[in-house]
Structure 1
Amino acid sequence: MGESSGGAAHRSSAVADAWSVPVLWRPRRERPKVVVKADLLPAVSVLSTAGLLGIPLGWLWSRIAPPERLRVVTSDGRLAPLELESWHRFDDLAIYGFLALGLGLLIGVVAWLLRERRGPVVLVAAVGGSALAAWLGTQMGVAFGNARFEVTAAPALGSVVEQAPKLESGWVVLAAPLATALVYALLTAWNGRDDLGRRLG
């Protein structure tokens, strides 16, 4: 009986001593350093590949965006939009914005899947590539649209012609890089590892 009570007292004092000793110093874990040189070439590949996606982006927009129908009102070819047709100017801008947003999300996810190259270098390349793709899409999309709705002959008075879709604001280019940066940041926060899982690649 005495031995059991003595052993219990010894264990309780050991537990108390373990909890009562403050931890003044803990070994500091070495955080992974940002890799720059090894990620430069993959970053250039990400930037150039993402930038080239602006060509199919522009082509797809030129096929989806509605043209604006106008009527020839004078003999010298002056045009006037039909009723409610001027709304398509906003439709063209909104459609391109949503397409650029989707492309930015796609680029961000694909860049994140490059596990062995995760980090700020590839992030900057992905954001730059998505911005380049969005800008190239505006140029190629308008060109594709003009070729699709090209007027080959002078329209007659009173006839209705279709005007190619156009983008009247350059701010729509920001949709893609903002989406890329946002999805990459969210995936980084969700990962929670110091090296973003690079060592597991």
Structure 2
Amino acid sequence: MADSSPVRTTPGARGPELPAVLFTRRPPRPRVIVKADLLPAVSVLSLIGVVGIPLGWLWSRLAPAEHVRVFDAGQLIPLQLESWHRFDGLAVYALLGFAAGLVTGVGVWMLRERRGPVVLVAAVLGGLLAAWLGTQIGVAFANSHYAVTTTPAVGDVIARAPRIESMWVLVTQPLATALVYGLLAGWNGRDDLGRRLG
């Protein structure tokens, strides 16, 4: 049977010590700042979106043209192995977009006082806008660069401007931006991503 008698303690006696962790005050967790980051986020989105113009111009100069032979009724048949350049155009644009996304992710991370999800979303959307704008402007630049000035005769070989036949290349730049920004945020390890040190 358990003893229910009260336990007497002397005034100088100390009971079991509790760990100091129970009495330490933890600093409040930083919250996501939205209002202060909205205007810088719009600036980031528009600035990254404009990157699509030089990206498209660079692609129009680097992507190889496809050489085709003119047949009856204006039919254009690619020469042997020239049809591979259709993939080359996609690969060149994907690599340019990926490189632009890497640079964008690092550049946006350097905005220390604005680090956080709001600017990350703006950078990803800006990368998507830049990729779309680059495909539209790049094809236009390529068409003007490889424009046929005279009417070709049957049997002539002409250079057909490179084109982008798949819109999957639009994901490379925003994906690279999100990947780099996420890796840098994980490497940082601070609750506020170092914003207060800016």
TM-score normalised by length of structure 1: 0.87
**Which AA in structure 2 matches 1:32?**
P
Aligned equivalents of 1:104, 1:130: Cα separation in 2: 7
2:44 counterpart (33, 46, 49): 46
| Residue aligning to 1:150 | 147
What are structure 1's unaligned runs of at least 5 residues?
1-16
Aligned equivalents of 1:32, 1:79: Cα separation in 2: 62
Deviation of the 1:157 alpha carbon: 1.4
Aligned equivalents of 1:24, 1:152: Cα separation in 2: 80
| Residue aligning to 2:28 | 30
Deviation of the 1:32 alpha carbon: 1.2
Task: Specify the SS of the correspondent of 2:33.
Answer: coil
Say yes or no: does 1:72 pair with 2:103. no
Q: Mapping of 1:1-201 within 5 angstroms? A: 21-23=18-20, 25=22, 26-74=24-72, 76-201=73-198
Deviation of the 1:23 alpha carbon: 4.8
Task: Specify the SS of the correspondent of 2:74.
Answer: coil
Deviating runs (4+, > 3 A) in structure 1? 20-24
Aligned equivalents of 2:48, 2:171: Cα separation in 1: 15
**Which AA in structure 2 matches 1:171?**
W
What are structure 2's unaligned runs of at least 5 residues?
1-14
- Greater shift after overlay, 190-199 or 45-54? 190-199
Residues 12-32 of structure 1, C-alpha deviations (whole Å, 9 max, x = no match): xxxxx99x7445624232111
Equivalent pairs, count: 183
Task: Specify the SS of the correspondent of 2:193.
Answer: coil
Task: Specify the SS of the correspondent of 1:195.
Answer: coil
Aligned equivalents of 1:44, 1:73: Cα separation in 2: 51
Change (3 A) 1:46 1:24: closer
Aligned equivalents of 1:123, 1:198: Cα separation in 2: 14
**Which AA in structure 2 matches 1:60?**
L
CA RMSD of aligned residues (A): 1.5
Q: Which has the higher helix share?
A: 1
Task: Specify the SS of the correspondent of 2:164.
Answer: coil
Change (3 A) 1:194 1:71: same
